[in-house]
Structure 1
Amino acid sequence: MTERFFILIQSVLAAMFGVQSQAKYRVDFSQKHFWPFALLAVCFVIALVVALAWFVNSVVL
């Protein structure tokens, strides 16, 4: 379970930064369910927006 979660995080981060290999892309899209990838991607985007807002707020003030 932990190894699968680590692979999921690695895959989502690689896809977000655009550095995912074609082989990994095929493996990810051969998975049975899409929802774990989508949920983790949404969580990462929310965390990125919160971190950027916090950073900008701390620089401006």
Structure 2
Amino acid sequence: SVSVLSYAVIFAASTKLDITRKDSIKFICTFAILELVIELLYISYYERKKMISLLKGEK
């Protein structure tokens, strides 16, 4: 999946940098948390918009 590929790219890029394995894991976890927050915000916005459309009787 695209998400797994993005994590692999981030991990590969972080190994090229001069950082420790612990910092690399922190970076990947931060990326995962940001990705989840963005997805949750998008889903909540979409669901709210969908509910408003249903209440207005739109399709």
TM tier relative to shorter chain: 0.5 to 0.7
What is the aligned residue count? 41
Which of the pair is proportionally richer in helix? Answer: 2
Aligned pairs for 1:7-18 (under 5 A) are 16=7, 18=8
Unmatched runs of 5 consecutive residues or more in structure 1: 1-13
Deviations along 1:22-53, one digit per CA (max 9) or x if unpaired, are xxx4x828x67201110010000000000000
Q: Tell me the TM-score normalised to structure 1 length.
A: 0.51
Give the greater-gyration-radius structure (CA): 2
Q: Tell me the TM-score normalised to structure 2 length.
A: 0.53
Partner of 1:37: 24
Q: Does 1:46 align with 2:33?
A: yes
Structure 1 vs Structure 2: percent identity of aligned residues?
10
Moved over 3 A (4+): none
Change in Cα spacing, 1:32 to 1:59, as seen in structure 2 (3 Å) is closer
